[in-house]
Amino acid sequence: MPTATNTAATLASMKGAEGTSGSPEPARSPMECATGHPAAPDKIRSMAIQRCPICRTEVRTNPRYPDHLCQDCATRAIAADGRPLKFFNTSATGGFEAIYADDNTPAEAVTRDHVVFVDGVRCVANEARFGGIVIRPAP
């Protein structure tokens, strides 16, 4: 059986070649790819991204408000009495005002105390520095 002998001989010689120089290299380079390459960008990305503290959705990074709620959670904000809220800047330069979303009446307690609840989490709503409203978990 010349064929079988040849195959066995070929396999043996290939094995021998791999064992000495081939095998360690293919084993090492994928590991370098897995740890070295993605590790660095991952590290940078995890520092750059910011997540909503309520639902963990990725939000736009904001160094000033590193824990602000995402838009979805912000719209679910309710007053202490359970009524839905809407927030406004009272003027072009800022200011904070809350109204009840169900009948558009002023939510005076919220406007005064800034305390809202999102999914049962006590939060603080306030005017953002550059306009708009920012909601963050209460300290």
Chain positions contacting Zn ion, by CB under 5 A: 52, 54-55, 57, 70, 73
- Minimum CB separation from Zn ion for residue 83, in Å? 20
- Minimum CB separation from Zn ion for residue 76, in Å? 8
**Quick one: 12 or 49, whose CB is closer to Zn ion?**
49
What are the residues whose beta carbons fall under 8 Å from the beta carbon of 138, sequence distance 6 or more? 115, 121, 122, 123, 124
Indicate the DSSP class of residue 129: T
**Cross-strand bridge partners of residue 116:** 123
**Quick one: 73 or 123, whose CB is closer to Zn ion?**
73
Cα–Cα distance, 16 to 28 (Å, whole number): 19
Q: Locate tokens 């009272």: which residue?
A: 90
- Minimum CB separation from Zn ion for residue 88, in Å? 21
**Quick one: 65 or 94, whose CB is closer to Zn ion?**
65
